[in-house]
Structure 1
Amino acid sequence: MDDPNADTEWNDILRAKGILPPKDEKRDDDLEDAFVEMVKAREAKLNSLENKELDELDELEDLEDDQILNEYRYKRMMEMKAQAVKEKYGEVTEISKPEFIKEVTEASKECYVVVHLYKDYIPVCKLMNRCLSELAQQFKATKFLKIVSDQCIPNYPDFNVPTLLIYGDGDIKANLVGAVQFGGMKMTTKSLRALLATYGAVPADKSEDDDEDRKTAPKKSIYQSRATAALSSDEEESDNDNGYY
């Protein structure tokens, strides 16, 4: 019989209909606490269990309580499967204006979406596309898109690009306008990651920050053009003919 506490969409449906009891979060916590304490006692060097892979857990099979080990391995397998379902992107995809609502606004209900408004002839836009491509390969659970700026918003000024729109939970979280927001031609993948992490679009870098990247990383203040400000305005959400979503 399947574990009724497993994080599956089917079990969530059964819980919602009252067929399965609510998930026993306390039991999960107790199980993980017991496992961590046991491993700490027997394997002092293994101090980061949350990041252990399945093959590393296999090395601990001499622990006395096989039941806890097996249940913990099952829990990690479910977590890995759930993460694999989310990590389905991996590249910067070009979209057109008619696709915007589906590919951005609607899609952001399930994951973070980062949209680059760009022009090919502008060097800093090319640099940003390279940086975003690297980030897309690293963080496949985030959807990275690009669209020619004046195709997205008619008559959008070239001096406003590159522009990044960050969407999450079905709504716009930030719009960052102009090269200065990103450090201009000094922009790096690290500095861009740090910026996106402040809005939750990608995980923050836990490693030591590069001093140079700290200097060039943009501030949190947001400059909005009149056009992109409308993208985050509830009053303009239905004005699709003008390019606002």
Structure 2
Amino acid sequence: MSDRGLVEEELAVSHTGPKGVINDWRKFKLESMDQESLPPNKRELLKQMSSPLNPKEESLGSSHKMSIQEYELLKEDDEQCLRKYRKQCMQEMHERLSFGPRFNGVHELDSGEAFLEVIEKEHRLTVVVVHIYKAGVKGCEVLDRCLDCLAAQYPSVKFCRINAAVSGAGEHFSDNVLPAVLVYKGGEMLGNFLAITQHFNDEFLATDVEAFLTEYGLLPEKDFRPAGDEADVE
């Protein structure tokens, strides 16, 4: 491969080290700013600053001090933009370290076929928690609300619910064994908890269900959330 080809290949990959981080930050700032609202001279300057130099250009031009114009441009709205950049970096890092799909909320299963499908066809690394319930049975409604909370905290876990009457195995789930929670991973059953509310106080909370499942090693670590995430600007 020619020297030119090597340089082009180097510039095509993600940059590491202090200079790479600065280039990535400048590129992010350029992309996140409203380009139409910027004066042409500022838009062009930021574009130039966000473009990495090849080794020859860097040796010739990177030693000069930053001009007042460059400093003012970088300083402008940096705090807000830097927070967004930091959040994006944290999210990307977490996604690289995470495995399997992500889910949102508790999924309603409307048939025995849907029940079998979620067990057999879900990603092999995904933990599937199924709540089997029946309207009017004590504890089912409260457990349902608890799982809604846990689904928000553990998006890598697929939380589901199914009415015992449509599960195709209603005869095995009489009122005295409900609510029931079944846990699967890779098509294999990891937990089978009948009348699970017997393990809790009458007024149990999501934290009680979480502690119970964690005790059996059925929940992964919670997702990482960067500090100050609640105060993110729009």
With the length of structure 1 as denominator, give the TM-score of the two structures: 0.49
Give unmatched runs, 5+ long, in structure 2. Answer: 1-11, 15-81, 223-234
Equivalent pair of 1:113/1:142 in contact (CA under 8 Å): yes
Please state whether the residue corresponding to 2:202 is helix, strand or coil.
Answer: helix
1:45 aligns to what?
none
Percent identity over the alignment is 24
**RMSD in angstroms over aligned alpha carbons?**
3.0
Go from structure 1 to structure 2 and tell me whether the alpha carbon gap of 1:158 and 1:88 turns closer, same or farther (over 3 Å shift).
same
Q: 2:102 maps to which residue?
A: 88
CA distance in 2 between partners of 1:193 and 1:126 (Å): 16
Higher-RCO chain (CA-CA 8 Å, sequence separation at least 6)? 2
Aligned mate of 1:171, from 171, 180, 188: 188
Q: Does 2:203 correspond to 1:186?
A: yes
Structure 1 residues 94 and 55: alpha-carbon distance in aligned structure 2, compared to 1, 3 A threshold: same
Query: How far apart, CA to CA, are the structure 1 residues paired with 2:214 and 2:101?
Result: 17
Conserved? CA contact 2:180–2:194, under 8 Å: yes
Distance 1:132 1:112 in 2: 14
CA distance in 2, matches of 1:106, 1:184: 35
Give the C-alpha shift of residue 151 in structure 1.
2.5
Superposed CA offset, 1:172-199 (max 9, x none): 0010011444415332111100111133
Give secondary structure in 2 for the equivalent of 1:164: strand
Match of 1:154 in 2: 170
CA shift in 2, pair 1:180/1:161, >3 Å: same
2:208 match: secondary structure: helix
Written as runs of structure 1 = structure 2, the 5 A alignment for 1:61-80 is 78-80=92-94
Unaligned runs of 5+ in 1: 4-53, 59-72, 206-245
Contact 2:119–2:185 (Cα < 8 Å) also in 1:
no
Identify the residue that residue 103 of structure 1 maps to in structure 2.
Answer: 118
**Equivalenced residues, count:** 140
- Looking at structure 2, the residues matched to 77 and 131 of structure 1 have their Cα atoms a distance apart, in angstroms, of 26
